[in-house]
Amino acid sequence: MTLHKIVIPTSFPIGPVNVYLVEGDPLTLIDTGPRTDEALQTLEQGVAALGYALGDIRRIIITHTHPDHFGLVRQLVERSGASIWTHPFNADWFNNLALAVQRRGEFTLQLFKQSGVPDALIDMMRQMSPVMGQFFEEAPTDHWLDDGDTLEMDGALWQTVFTPGHAGGHIALYQPQTQQMVVGDHLLKYISSNPLIEAPHAPGLPRAKALVQYLDSLKKVAALDVAVAYPGHGDNINDHRLLIAERISFHEQRAERIAALLDQGERTAYQLVQEMFPRLADFDIFLGLSEVIGHLDILQLQGRVIEAPRNGHLVYASQ
């Protein structure tokens, strides 16, 4: 079977996003692109080039709830009446968007303060939050794909593979006979996927250790026989195990760099970001914090680093 890749422009540093149209009954779209006029027009043209209209789409599968992957979902449902399928972790982003955004904002603010981010930078981030919200809208659903669930696309059964890490509700789709896999942003050919820290799934729960999850998900996918992986950005991947080994090695080396810095003395997560990624600014600070805190989580699990409160912040030191 053939997945038709449609490359959609975005305004994000990652560049264009790949969405996939799968023919058959129901006509299925995997991911949508961001909520912009340019993205919608490009998607419409790409679908038309394959002989269809947006109104013909009957099912939309969302790999994860980042704006470049699900931003157009409401407009597409309004045009087509398509059903939305995603992991149940993502439920609030579709059924209670205001709560999801509020929970994310409160969590991120607390994370910045604990990490030692300066107040002026926190205020700037707070002002940017409504800008990010323009890229998606609420679109209710009750169709869920959990790990091991199957669905039919173009006459073949595809397995859902839960791959949290880059996002808490990230899923991939695997067809074992053809050894095809739609991997979303779990695995990208040219850059390492950011394991992004997210608000807990429900109040009172601890935050997930995103990088720990991501590395576990990489090993899970490495165990599958995959001839070709279709990513959310960039070119197809034809040797997933080699790429996964490179990604794991990359994170091991980065953890050692952070451990070496802590051997020199205790630091906040923000201080580590400044030393590891001195050119980061604006929203990219959050990406850097996610990366650093992810490696701190690993070093803590290894018993090599301890965490302690200090002057309203959390500081980390070698153990």
Interval 36-51: pLDDT, tens: 999 999 999 999 999 9
Residues 85 and 98 in one domain: no
Asked if residue 277 and residue 175 are part of one domain, the reply reads: no
Give the end of a domain, one of 195, 228, 244. Answer: 244
Q: Are residues 175 and 69 in the same domain?
A: yes
pLDDT given at position 229: 98
Give CB contacts under 8 A, 24+ apart, made by 298-307.
298/209, 298/211, 298/212, 298/215, 298/251, 298/255, 299/255, 299/258, 299/259, 299/262, 301/209, 301/212, 304/259, 305/259, 305/262
Residue 299 pLDDT greater than 90, yes or no: yes
Banded pLDDT at 227 (limits 50, 70, 90): very high
Provide the CATH number for the domain around residue 229. Answer: 3.60.15.10
Q: Is residue 315 part of a domain?
A: no
Q: Identify the weakest region by mean pLDDT among 68-82, 125-139, 173-187, 302-316.
A: 125-139
Residue 235 has a CB neighbour count (10 Å cut-off) of 12
Q: Is the pLDDT of residue 203 over 90?
A: no
Return the number of other C-beta atoms located less than 10 Å from residue 227's C-beta: 12
Tell me if 314 is assigned to some domain: no
Q: What is the pLDDT of residue 284?
A: 85
Asked if 157 and 38 sit in the same domain, the reply is yes
Rounded Cα gap, residues 56 and 76, in angstroms: 10
Q: How many domains does the chain divide into? A: 3
Residue 54's pLDDT is what? 98
Distances from the Cα of 259 to the Cα of 84, 100, 105, 262, 277, angstroms: 43, 34, 30, 5, 15
DSSP character at residue 55:
G
Give the residue numbers spanning the domain of 50: 3-90+140-244
Q: Report percent pLDDT > 70 for the chain.
A: 98
**98 with 85, same domain?**
no
Q: Has residue 130 got a pLDDT over 70?
A: no
237 and 174 in one domain? yes
Same domain, 175 and 234: yes
pLDDT in tens, 242-291: 999 999 999 999 999 999 999 999 999 999 999 999 998 777 888 999 99
Beta carbons within 10 angstroms of residue 260's beta carbon? 10
- Cα torsion 256, 261, 267, 273: sign: negative
Q: What is the rounded CA–CA span in Å between residue 90 and residue 95?
A: 9
User: Residue 132: its pLDDT value, please?
Assistant: 60
Q: What is the pTM of this model?
A: 0.95
